[in-house]
Structure 1
Amino acid sequence: MGDDVRSELQVTSHAQAEAWGTGRVAAAEKIDEGWWALALPIAEGTLASSFGYALMGADGVHVIDPGWASDETFDYWRTFLAEHGRRVQDIETILVTHSHPDHLGLAGRLREASGATVMMTAAESAVLNDVAVGMGGSDEWMRVELLRWGVPDHLHSAMLGELHAAHFSTPLAPDRVIADGEEILLADRTLRAHVTPGHTDGHLCLEDPGAGLLFSGDHVLPRIYSGIGLGQLPGSEPLGAYLRSLSRISELDQCEVLPGHEFRFRGLRLRCAQIAAHHLRRTAAVQEVDRRMSGASVWDVTGHLLWTRGWDNLRGFERQSALRQTELHLAAVRSGDAETWLTGGVISHAG
């Protein structure tokens, strides 16, 4: 979680903010002519909901991020559409910002029920079908991670158990691959694609220039600081890519931001600067620990950093994510990239 920035950002849906703050799933909300925001329940983890978005067009229904693959979420869509004189079979398009199960999960079932065209970036298709699916649930892959991180031997069994308890997205081949800058015609709207690697390597933001809206997925959230590299292709460098993506997307400051979680807001440039600063503070902290503990393992460095819930209290995905984030920062420190970032090479563009 990040700092409370609600007094600095302009909250544009107080109903969503109140629901999020009290742990409830917000009611469906009309955003603009044709556009609706739907808070979709998440079956696992600590977050109550993720946002899906629906454009109700004369040519059918167009969906961004259909949510978790559960009967509850499917019934939610069916009920919502029925209330607006539509059916699941009327869904024409499913756009996916990224491959995590709380965003992509239901896409396959909705496509089967409707014949909809599923769209995502080529990189995210590779993340989903080659990396997440291929590695998820693999003891061999996780053992390599644990050894690389320097996790003590007596914790390996517990962390392998945590891996098997985690939920991974199932394979799904897109019907259409989206490229950076591409324009996508939906009903009477033209969306512009912005590929924003970092959270995952093929993350996609979608801009509706005519309405002044930016669907930001998990790239930019109003309070939460999204994890980095949670869907990483071999040879990629998610942390630097994320900082550059923040700089690029901050140029759309005129847009109202429709995120994957929490609530709608304005103040994109400010939020991008806050997020960049947060990650660079972590980089600086890792740099300092590495100077004091030269050659220390990822596990040892992680244990010497400050975490909101405390390092000793992290378990499951949170513990593995903390190790993964630390590994990325440590790689940047040891490669020399961090020095450039910390002297203003990235954050100055986001601020």
Structure 2
Amino acid sequence: MSFRLPFTSLAVAALAAALALPAAAQERIKFKAIGQPLATGLIQKNKEQPFFENFAARTGLPIDVDYKPIDTLGLKDTEQLRVMKAGLFDIVSLRVSQNSRDEPTILGLDLVGAAPDFATGRKVSKAYFDTIDARLQQQFNVKLLGVWPFGPQILFCKKPITKLADVKGMKVRVYDQNLAKFIELVGGTPVPVSFADTHQSLSLGVVDCAITGPSSANSAGWPEVTTHQLPLGFQMALNGYAISMKSWNSLKPDQQARLKTAFEGLTEEIWKYSEELFQDALNCNQGKDPCTTGKKFKLTSVAVTPADLELVRGAVTKVSLPAWAEVCDKSNPGCSQKWKATVAPVLGLK
């Protein structure tokens, strides 16, 4: 009988090894992530998507991510917080302005005139980060991991303009209420249009002008249907990365720390890349060199006047803060006071 023992031992060892394989495989974590729309261009394509597709390598964690840009999911970009709260996704590339109707607090990150340039945008996002994080956790069970910019949002028109005031009487594509109030202030008619529908709206004359970043405009072909760009930043188009608290709490403390570090690295990369893209895309749109990231067009670039700069900077106290405060304080009492305590000091506002 003794000749059977080695065989039995081998069989047991083989069975143990076979059983161990699925266990090891199960140790990997699977997350589902909502990305920025494909239509928004190079930040999504060159920074965000590669990060998620190489998530395990970038974070050092056994996590595989099923990453889908939102315009391939059949979801609206205004529904991101709702689907996260419902537990349908683990991580979201959060479009701030688009989700501000569901949570007005987050728009305090990007009031018109508050962050006309990258340096100010960084200060604002740092000062307001903890406020947004706390509110998202409380209302949507979602934790903020990082904030990044598409960059200054500027004006594109299919009619000749020489200054901002020339939009008086024109229909202007906007993407949030705060921007709509500002366009009304300068005499334009704000028209809410999704980014994906804007090219066609310009082409058909549904709108005369539209606002976005120069790189996104280039990627989406807006210069095919416009003639002028005014490189005056109204907003910084700040966006975020957030994770559901359920997914966050499923990680061990050291895994949470690694994840946070990885997202801080990604957002820092995007800040730098966004600034490079901004200047390059302005050049591309008007057919100037250097133009390395986009397609060359022949837009007229309108010089920004001191009066226009003053108009945008003054918008914070005149229109964007009061309009936002009224909406935000209704759903989140004390919301505007919190902004005044955290963000106003870095902008030098009393």
* Higher helix proportion (structure 1 or 2): 2
From the CA coordinates, give the structure whose radius of gyration is larger. Answer: 2
Q: Which has the higher contact order (CA 8 A, sep 6+)?
A: 2
Q: TM-score range by the shorter chain?
A: under 0.3
TM-score, structure 1 length as denominator? 0.24
TM-score (norm 2): 0.24
